Amino acid sequence: MQLHRVFVYGTLKSGQPNHVHMESLGCHLVAAGHTEQAFPLVITSRWNLPFLLHVPGKGHQIYGEVYDVDDEGLEWLDQFEGHPLVYERDLVRVRMPLHADMRPNHEQLCECWVYFLKSFEPSMLQLEMHSSYDSYGEHNRPYLPEKDDSSTENFHVGMRQTSLAA
């Protein structure tokens, strides 16, 4: 069984609404970290979703968590994220503490999978950009899961339409 490093920045992080899935998949938290490059992280859609836009060098370094995920977990995450129809999984370089004491200048760099929105309306680049996401944060845009539609496929279609109409 192969383990994959995955960087999560949104609702799958610890303390966030969808973190329960990371726990049920048995994903192992490696460390908190941040992307080496800047990217735009915006909150939009009727669900107030965090979208990491694939525009390297624009926005901020993104803060999140690095997990070790097995093949089955990666397959589940691909489906959950709508890969490759909505989000697309790609590799990024993430800096994380070398030791648990998190001393400055003691970081390691690792490549991690992350889920990007690569096809989006240019107007999304005009939205407020964040360096980290917290559903309960000061932005006052809490994550609103779809309550009346349990269909993952319909959810992904709605997300795709939102990203192209933003």
What total number of domains does the chain contain? 1
Cis peptide before 84 (omega within 30 of 0): yes
Question: What pLDDT shows up at residue 106?
Answer: 72
- For residue 151, what pLDDT is reported? 46
Instruction: Kindly report the CATH number assigned to the domain that includes residue 63.
Output: 3.10.490.10
Angle formed at CA 120 by CA 112 and CA 10, multiple of 5 degrees: 40
81 catalytic residue (yes or no) = yes
Mean confidence (pLDDT) of the chain: 89
* Alpha helix positions (H), the chain: 19-24, 71-81, 152-165
Domain of residue 7 covers 3-165
Exactly one of 23, 65, 81, 107 is catalytic; which is it? 81
Find out whether 133 and 7 touch, Cβ atoms under 8 Å. no
pLDDT score of 103: 57
Bridge partners of 104, per DSSP, are none
| 97: confidence class by pLDDT, cuts 50, 70, 90 | confident
Please state, for a pLDDT cut of 70, what percent of the chain lies above it.
84
CB 164 within 8 Å of CB 120: yes
User: For 30-34, 41-45, 152-156, which range has the lowest pLDDT when averaged over its residues?
Assistant: 152-156
Contact 124, 166 (CB under 8 A): yes
Rounded CA-CA distance 141/160 in Å is 19
What are the two backbone dihedrals, phi and then psi, of residue 80, each rounded to the nearest 5 degrees?
-60, -40
Tell me, what DSSP letter sits at residue 117?
Answer: B
Residue with tokens 């909150």: 43
Compute and round to an integer the Cα radius of gyration of the chain: 15
pLDDT band, very low/low/confident/very high, at 154 (cuts 50, 70, 90) = very low
Structural contact between residues 66 and 6, judged by C-beta atoms closer than 8 angstroms: yes
